[in-house]
Amino acid sequence: MNKYTPLEEFLKRQTGNSVVLSFAQIEEIINDKLPLSAHRWFRFWENGPGTVQSDAWHNAGFETVMVDRENEKVKFQQI
């Protein structure tokens, strides 16, 4: 289990095709703060394999389709 496993489990329970979460909601789900890189760089939210966070949403069958760093929101869409 890693820091983002709770996010993976949360996304697996979603019944819709997409979900928009604020950074604060994600922090509640993972019970930890997001790293500074999540607030500063779009790269944190990329869908490529090899990072624990992208592996979490990919394993749940989702990908990121929108990141709004100004309003601190991310949209996940089912693959």
Chain length of the chain: 79
* Tally of domains within the chain: 1
Q: What pLDDT was estimated at residue 49?
A: 82
Query: Hey, what are 2's tokens?
Result: 């890693």
Tell me which residue range forms the domain holding 65.
Answer: 5-78
pTM, two decimal places: 0.94
Distances (CA, A) of 5 to 13, 29, 46, 70: 13, 9, 17, 26
pLDDT in tens, 25-48: 999 999 999 999 999 999 999 998
Q: How many CB atoms lie within 10 A of CB 67?
A: 18
